Amino acid sequence: MSASVFPSPRTTDPKAFGRVAVLMGGTSAEREVSLDSGRNVLEALRARGVDAHAVDGIPALAVALVHRQFDRVFNILHGNKGGGEDGVLQGLLEALRVPYTGSGVLGTALAMDKIRSKQVWLSLGLPTPTYVRLAKGDDVHAAARRIGLPVIVKPSCEGSSVGVSRVFTDADLDGALALAAQYPGELLMEQLIEGDELTVGVLGAVALPSIRIVPKGQWYDYHAKYVAEDTQYLCPGLDGGAEDEIRQLALDAFSALGCSGWGRVDVMRDRASGRFFLLEANTAPGMTSHSLVPKAARQMGLDFEELCWRILEQSLEDRTTEAPTP
């Protein structure tokens, strides 16, 4: 695959971006991953001559922007509640009229909330696992009987597999609920789809090649994502019509949530039926050595520096012209 499927760069002049804040760290449960991603992005932009500077967290950025220290923001904060994927940061930047990378207020807020993501997808006939919303005090055992074991129990508004449990027996439900309840927001139980775990990066209007993830252990948990060196990443993850289908599904799912710019959509393929099921959309995916969007971009001829440049270029676009297509 070739980088020729992408439009020509908007600019080759790093001065066109002015002074750039690379926003990382923050106070979400994904802080360490964000710091790792941010260091990589910062190094890549500086290597291309961009006047880029690290900023740790939204309060520090707000102070800097009030003093007009930056012209735009490359958001690589991950997560909710102090991360940059829940719409709060985007609202601040919109109010201050500061250009930034990634999705806007609506797209980030919807994508961060897995329950609302599912509600939107189901309203449009897009496939996602059967689920139950768990309010405080709900009977987790009754919910599991409704769906049928095995199930996934997780916070509705966290990423990076934080607080997630795979549950195969009724006896393990209470422990899974206790783990997920350590994080703010609602909880979610969904049908566990057994099969291939896949992900599709999105850059502009282009779906990148799918990646099939083959962890050494039973599933793709936090350790397999960010620590283990024995997780296999097969790219493209599928071929023929199945690859075309999953890439179109990812674009449809991303657009349905009002997302734009760049991101990633996670999908399961049921082993028995071959059907695809949408899990979640990520609006500021990881950019670490283990991360998936850079791997897929390389398959299309974009190295890490070029990928970062292309993402930063999106901050030059006029957001008032965006109109998500259902």
Would you say residue 92 has pLDDT above 50?
yes
For the ranges 3-7, 30-34, 185-189, the maximum mean pLDDT occurs at 30-34
Q: What is the DSSP letter of 86?
A: S
The pLDDT, as a whole number, for residue 325 is: 43
Question: Of the given ranges (172-176, 218-222, 231-235), which has the lowest mean pLDDT?
Answer: 218-222
The pLDDT, as a whole number, for residue 196 is: 94
Residue 14, both tokens: 């790093």
Instruction: Give the tens place of pLDDT for each residue, 173-203.
Output: 988 888 888 877 788 899 999 999 999 999 9
Mean pLDDT of 36-64: 97
Q: What is the pTM of this model?
A: 0.89
Inter-CA distances, 3 with 148, 160, 203, Å: 45, 28, 11
Cβ partners under 8 Å of residue 191, min gap 6: 129, 130, 131, 147, 148, 151, 152
Mean pLDDT of all residues in the chain? 90
Mean pLDDT of 255-283: 96
CATH T-level assignment (fold) for domain 130-191: Dna Ligase; domain 1 (3.30.1490)
Tell me if 21 sits within 8 A of 61, measured CB to CB: yes
Instruction: Give the tens place of pLDDT for each residue, 97-116.
Output: 999 999 999 999 999 999 99
Q: pLDDT-derived band of residue 79, with 50, 70 and 90 as boundaries? A: confident
Q: pLDDT-derived band of residue 29, with 50, 70 and 90 as boundaries? A: confident
The pLDDT, as a whole number, for residue 128 is: 97
Edge to edge, the sheet with strand 72-75 lists: 51-56, 19-24, 72-75
Active site residues: 30, 160, 226, 264, 266, 280, 282, 286
Query: CA 91 from chain center: how many Å?
Result: 18
Which of 9, 163, 20, 31 has its CA nearest to residue 84? 31
The pLDDT, as a whole number, for residue 227 is: 59
The pLDDT, as a whole number, for residue 295 is: 95
CATH class of 119-125+193-320: alpha beta
CATH T-level assignment (fold) for domain 3-101: Rossmann fold (3.40.50)
Give the domain ranges of the chain: 3-101, 119-125+193-320, 130-191
Would you say residue 4 has pLDDT above 80?
no
Q: Residue 134 phi/psi, 5° resolution? A: -105, 110
Would you say residue 326 has pLDDT above 60?
no
The pLDDT, as a whole number, for residue 249 is: 98
